[in-house]
Chains A and B, each alone.
Chain A
Amino acid sequence: MRISPARIWRERGARYRLEAVRCRKCGHVYYPPKKVCPACRSREMEKVVLPPKGKLLAWSIEYTVPEGYRKYAPIVLGLVELQGGVRVLAPIVDVRPEELRKGMMVEAVLRRVYEDGDEGVIVYGIKFVPAEQD
């Protein structure tokens, strides 16, 4: 995947701070954000920052990884339900696969996710690590 600095910069809110949008009409929250609410078609969407903690709903250990991700393999791809109910898809790191449990608490951290070759841009983003129960 080719990555440009402008592209990373544009995505900084969602990718570094878990910025989502909430529909002012029906209250649905979307991450990835939507311009118009898919539930009620309202255009009144406001930016909200999601809480970093949540529980692990499901995960897959990905052995065959796309080109450029070999150094991260196997990737533990997790589906996390944040406090408040919004779901986020991201890798689960700093944990051995056999220690993963459904419902375990995890917390978002900022990590390196991709390098565009040896001299290209480094992409950072959200990954989840095990966290203490609140």
Chain B
Amino acid sequence: MRKVFVVGVGLTKIGRHFDKDLRSLFAEAALHAIDDAGGVKPQAVVVGNMLSSSLYQQDNLGALLADYIGLRGVAAFKVEAACGSGGFAVATGYSLVASRLYDVVLVGGVEKMCDYPTATVAAALAQAADAEYEVVYGASFPALNALAMKLYMETYGVSREEMAEWPVRMHEYASQNPYAQLRFRITLEDVLKAPMVAEPITLLDSAPIGDGAATLVLASEEVARKLSDTPVEIAGVGMGSDSVDTTTRFDLLDPLSVRLAAEEAYRRAKVEPKDIDLVEVHDAFTITGILSLEGLGFAKRGEAAKLVAEGAFAKGDKPEANLSGGLKARGHPVGATGIYQVAEITMQLRGEFPGVKASSPEVGLAQTTGGVLASTSVIILRR
């Protein structure tokens, strides 16, 4: 395996892009990334996307999008792992370059979620869960996470107020991120009094529905050194899975897929949790972010929520978590999210992130997950 570098990034602001369709949104981010990489021509396109089939009546995204941005002829396909699709697309693109199959690969995530009413989008998102055993009963994705949140709070004696610190912080960060969807501050009381989605999860515990696209250009060391003096290296990649159903898990509060993916990524990057300066975790709901921090080894089991409530993982701590505003407030255009995370960490390591800047970033970690922590990827980046 050879080294792989991020040589270009491109993002769109996340929001309700009623004036842009799937392909134009993708193109906006992709062309920006190609320009950022000095106009290099990718030899393959890997697309991270979850909902094009269910909400957009569109499959075959790889070829469609590659052709639209002038890359007719290249290898092109979509990677799907529900809300974790983007991270798995990065891992796939990484392996194409690391294995010497290609020297330059474009990894782009895109999602159009705002064209339909909430119930329609909720039905599409629920497809991340088990169709025959969960979704058929009308289980929504927030409700499945709500069960985990209740069990967590009961088991570890965590209060609702303690669980509300995270979204407040995410909104604070997002208010300074020009790419974020929810650029406003909220209070603890706002979280508690927000409309109930699936008790105890309120609207302000939940990532918003949004359109967005994010793109990376990955390249071999040889190409990367020609394009930049200080390219960011993908130092390690890890992936893991768990049952899609939550009922057959051996331990309902053990984020197994996160733990396994993290162990693999740390081993490959030859780092430990204490070496990570900044992290972007998959906080689709407050509880998802909390369990992810534990699975990544930044907190012991049952301690992450209390640590967050005491101020841990904020700007100035180590690691600094979700300076982008996270899925909660930066936004969560599901299949693009993992690529936003890697792009944001790359910008932080370059010292170019336009929002809240990391204090002294050398090593960063991005974690995305599909389903109720069922499919997880972890990407470690180094300056």
B198 touches A61 (CB 8 A): yes
B143 touches A38 (CB 8 A): no
List of A residues within 8 angstroms of B223 by Cβ: none
Which of B137, B142, B250 has most chain A Cβ within 10 Å? B137
Which of B123, B146, B247 has most chain A Cβ within 10 Å? B247
B196 touches A63 (CB 8 A): yes
Known: A65-B122, A66-B126. A60 touches B136 (CB 8 A): no
A60 touches B199 (CB 8 A): yes
Q: Cα distance A86–B250 when bound, in Å?
A: 11
Which of A11, A39, A62 has most chain B Cβ within 10 Å? A62
Nearest-CB residue, chain A, relative to B249? A87
Which of A30, A58, A91 is the one whose CB lies under 8 Å from B137?
A: A91
* Stretch among B127-135, B305-313, B324-332 lining the A interface: B127-135
A134 in contact (CB, < 8 A): no
B247 touches A1 (CB 8 A): no
Which of B117, B195, B199 has most chain A Cβ within 10 Å? B199
- Min distance, Cβ A9 to any Cβ of chain B, angstroms: 12
Q: Cα distance A66–B118 when bound, in Å?
A: 8
B247 touches A31 (CB 8 A): yes
- Min distance, Cβ B256 to any Cβ of chain A, angstroms: 11
- Min distance, Cβ B257 to any Cβ of chain A, angstroms: 13
B134 touches A89 (CB 8 A): yes
- Min distance, Cβ B118 to any Cβ of chain A, angstroms: 6
A125 touches B143 (CB 8 A): no
A109 in contact (CB, < 8 A): no
A24 in contact (CB, < 8 A): no
For window 138-185 of B, CB contacts with A under 8 Å fall at 138-140, 142-144, 146-147, 150-151, 154
Taken residue by residue from 11 to 48, chain A's Cβ proximity to chain B (1 for < 8 Å, 0 otherwise) reads as: 10011000000000000001110100011000000000
B119 touches A79 (CB 8 A): no
Q: Cα distance A102–B119 when bound, in Å?
A: 29
List of A residues within 8 angstroms of B120 by Cβ: 67
B248 touches A32 (CB 8 A): yes
- Min distance, Cβ A23 to any Cβ of chain B, angstroms: 12
A32 touches B138 (CB 8 A): no
Q: Cα distance A15–B120 when bound, in Å?
A: 25
Q: Cα distance A79–B130 when bound, in Å?
A: 15
A61 touches B246 (CB 8 A): no
List of B residues within 8 angstroms of A14 by Cβ: 132-133
B196 touches A32 (CB 8 A): no
List of B residues within 8 angstroms of A72 by Cβ: 138
Which of A34, A77, A87, A90 is the one whose CB lies under 8 Å from B198?
A: A77
- Min distance, Cβ B218 to any Cβ of chain A, angstroms: 33
- Min distance, Cβ A32 to any Cβ of chain B, angstroms: 4
- Min distance, Cβ B360 to any Cβ of chain A, angstroms: 41
- Min distance, Cβ B252 to any Cβ of chain A, angstroms: 8
A64 touches B123 (CB 8 A): no
- Min distance, Cβ A63 to any Cβ of chain B, angstroms: 5
B150 touches A32 (CB 8 A): no
A123 in contact (CB, < 8 A): yes
Known: A89-B134, A113-B137. A62 touches B142 (CB 8 A): yes
A101 in contact (CB, < 8 A): no
Q: Cα distance A96–B127 when bound, in Å?
A: 28
B64 in contact (CB, < 8 A): no
Residues of B within 8 A of A (CB): 117-120, 122-123, 126, 130-140, 142-144, 146-147, 150-151, 154, 195-201, 243, 245-248, 250
* Ranked 8 nearest A-B pairs via Cβ: A60-B146, A69-B138, A66-B123, A62-B143, A87-B247, A67-B123, A67-B119, A61-B199
- 11 additional A-B pairs beyond A38-B248, A66-B126, A91-B138, beta carbons within 8 Å, are A32-B130, A57-B151, A59-B150, A61-B199, A66-B140, A67-B117, A77-B139, A77-B146, A86-B247, A89-B134, A89-B245
A-B contact pairs, 11 of them (CB 8 A): A1-B136, A14-B133, A38-B248, A62-B138, A62-B140, A62-B142, A64-B118, A64-B198, A65-B140, A67-B122, A89-B245
